[in-house]
Structure 1
Amino acid sequence: MSAKTLAEFDFETGEVLLLDKPLTWTSFDVVRKVKNALRIKKIGHAGTLDPLATGLLILCTGRKTKEIDLIQAQEKEYTGTFRLGETTPSFDLETAVDMARPYAHLTDEEILAATLPFVGTIQQTPPLFSAVKIDGKRAYEIARNGQEAEIKSKTVEIKIFELTRIALPEIDFRVVCSKGTYIRSLARDLGVALGCGAHLTRLVRTRIGEYRVEDAFSLEAIQALRPPRPEGEGRPRIERPRTAPNRAGLQYYAALQADALAAKEHQATETAPAAPESSPE
């Protein structure tokens, strides 16, 4: 953990706070939660994380908000999982699979070779389901309304793209890259290169510059510092659920989780030992 405890932070004067973002929370959700919990007047984040990504989210408060641009410009490190053979419009689990193709014929050597052209300075097109602005609107707003829009490609740098596990249809990876790189787009582009399609199923941001997720605090630890509200001040707090997939537009992900839970409960029922029959009197 950080060498400094949370109780030692002076958030009003200015701090750089490392937080491990929960799954399905937007970066804005986290900023708002921390701001309200600790009653911080000035706070912002240094680099967005998608709702279905977890890991390092850096919050800057007070005078330290002046360092946001500097922190955002530093290189990023991610780990995660791509699934080959299926594509989705969002390039991740936010939207349903729209195409499936064979993948079993691919060898480890072919998959590894396909990663090589993506190392270095490349042109990358961000996903339509992203925060990129198009004519003053966020791209994801256009996408979630079922509309199409053209997004221009941009130059990014991928310093390291290594595969740490190949267990088709899944492959695990580690990527070190520049600001503005979309790992979901990398999944899409790798799938195109392999001819089978791919999408992102898990993403963890492990590092921004010298800041590491191992030194980050949990949202629960930060909320535990919340000072008591003076008697009679304002309205009573309304606690939001820890995860809120529908607020983030993640209906497909929510459905997947519901299906997985139902399957697990069904399996538990089938494998449970039968109750002994009562013997006749």
Structure 2
Amino acid sequence: MDIPRSFDFEAGEVLLLDKPLTWTSFDVVRKVKNTLRIKKIGHAGTLDPLATGLLILCTGKKTKEIDQIQAQEKEYTGTFRLGQTTPSFDLETPVDAELPYAHLTEEEIRAATAQFVGQIAQTPPLFSAVKVNGERAYEVARRGDEAEIKSKQVTIRDFEITRIALPDVDFRVTCSKGTYIRSLARDFGAALGCGAHLTKLVRTRIGEYRVEDALTMEAVEAMRPPRPEGETERPRRQRQLRPERRAGLEYFNTNQADSDQSQDKSEA
């Protein structure tokens, strides 16, 4: 993204950020707020810590547009791993079951997408921020308790398989607000009879906003304004990533090397 010469954060700006892996959405908001000295800022749609890609931040008077931006269609790309399931439906928790997948043909895998296109009923993951009796579902999951989460209607306009290299399957999805791609991984694996979980997720688009136009966190740091005259620089503390407390990213950090080796080298 070409960086404008100046911003008017108080009047309002819509900032496109490329969220790094393991950062929470709040990590990004806090970093941008502190680095660019923005008084009022919020994000238009959470990304999980293990997802990367487009995160939209609104500042000043533009924060009134957050709901409007959140409601727009979203596009994702990523990878499902067939033959294994996890409680969180992704890499945040360890594999809890393995099933055979080698018998599946490319035709069967591609054909299974059709049942998920259109308006469908989808049940959010227990490892999510949905409320269960006034409590976040992931708090219930962290205690090891069970909870009933109601399904909801979501719309998937496109569900395309872009690469098959078993056990990994790459995909592209365009969908409505509220769609959980982790739940789609679970349901897709169930439809194939082999189970599946999400190993990679990139949000590439929200409405007309695209990740290729987004700022990196390094670009944000380069935009840091000079200190006001007379203000002394305070020592910067090392940013502490905290999603490990949320859902077991110690497992992800420990096992990612093995996971990477088993995936195709062409994955970006």
Q: Normalized against structure 1, the TM-score is what?
A: 0.87
Query: Bigger shift: 133-142 or 39-48?
Result: 133-142
Pairing 1:26-175 to 2, within 5 Å after superposition: 26-175=24-173
Query: Bigger shift: 107-116 or 206-215?
Result: 107-116
Q: Is the 8 A contact 2:44 2:69 kept in 1?
A: yes
Using the TM superposition, give the Cα deviation of residue 12 of structure 1 relative to its aligned residue in structure 2, in angstroms. 2.1
Pairing 1:198-237 to 2, within 5 Å after superposition: 198-230=196-228, 231=230, 236-237=235-236
Using the TM superposition, give the Cα deviation of residue 247 of structure 1 relative to its aligned residue in structure 2, in angstroms. 5.1
> Letter of the aligned partner of 1:141 in structure 2?
E
In structure 2, what is the Cα distance between the partners aligned to 1:75 and 1:137? 28
Q: Which segments of 5 or more consecutive residues in structure 1 lack a partner in the other structure?
A: 264-281
The alignment yields a C-alpha RMSD, in angstroms, of 1.9
In structure 1, what is the Cα distance between the partners aligned to 2:259 and 2:85? 20
Using the TM superposition, give the Cα deviation of residue 138 of structure 1 relative to its aligned residue in structure 2, in angstroms. 1.4
Query: Bigger shift: 121-130 or 247-256?
Result: 247-256
Map of 1:251 onto structure 2: 250
Q: 1:133-158 deviations in whole A, cap 9, x for unaligned? A: 11222111221222211111000000
In structure 2, relative to structure 1, the CA distance for the partners of 1:147 and 1:72 (3 Å cut) is: same
How many residue pairs were aligned? 259
Q: Is the 8 A contact 1:25 1:248 kept in 2?
A: no
Q: SS of 2:244's equivalent?
A: coil
Q: Which segments of 5 or more consecutive residues in structure 2 lack a partner in the other structure?
A: 262-268
In structure 1, what is the Cα distance between the partners aligned to 2:116 and 2:193? 15
Using the TM superposition, give the Cα deviation of residue 32 of structure 1 relative to its aligned residue in structure 2, in angstroms. 1.1
In structure 2, what is the Cα distance between the partners aligned to 1:252 and 1:53? 16
In structure 1, what is the Cα distance between the partners aligned to 2:87 and 2:204? 26
Q: Is the 8 A contact 2:17 2:54 kept in 1?
A: yes
Map of 1:179 onto structure 2: 177
Using the TM superposition, give the Cα deviation of residue 33 of structure 1 relative to its aligned residue in structure 2, in angstroms. 1.1
In structure 1, what is the Cα distance between the partners aligned to 2:59 and 2:40? 6
Q: 1:96-120 deviations in whole A, cap 9, x for unaligned? A: 0000000000011111111110000
Q: SS of 1:29's equivalent?
A: helix
Percent identity of the aligned residues? 76
In structure 2, what is the Cα distance between the partners aligned to 1:163 and 1:169? 13
Map of 1:239 onto structure 2: 238
Q: Normalized against structure 2, the TM-score is what?
A: 0.91
Q: Is the 8 A contact 1:24 1:248 kept in 2?
A: no
Q: 1:44-70 deviations in whole A, cap 9, x for unaligned? A: 000010100000000000000000000
Q: Is the 8 A contact 2:138 2:246 kept in 1?
A: no
Using the TM superposition, give the Cα deviation of residue 228 of structure 1 relative to its aligned residue in structure 2, in angstroms. 4.1
